[in-house]
Amino acid sequence: MSNIVTLHGDKRWKAVVEYSTVEGPESVEHYFEEISDLHLIIEHGPDWNSLIRCTITLNRPDDGGEQNSVEKALHQERRH
């Protein structure tokens, strides 16, 4: 057990939004409960024309690694 407490543990989704800025790419993490809230995050962020990418994962302790099929295959291979 860890003494680290996440403030976003009760949120279901994590979005990492990467924007193009004068200084270079900038990533911002957002945590939210309903996937339908994502449009509000994008609309209220920096100019959406500067959006490079948005990566959405379930907010899990493994940082979404289990969603990745390669990671999942490696994990299963190690168990056998």
Q: What is the pLDDT of residue 25?
A: 96
Pairing, β 24-32 against β 51-58: unpaired
What global pTM score does this model have?
0.65
23 or 5: whose pLDDT is higher?
A: 23
Pairing, β 24-32 against β 13-21: antiparallel
Query: Residue 58 in 3-state DSSP?
Result: strand
22 or 4: whose pLDDT is higher?
A: 22
Q: What is the pLDDT of residue 60?
A: 77
Distance, CA of 52 to CA of 20 (rounded, Å): 6
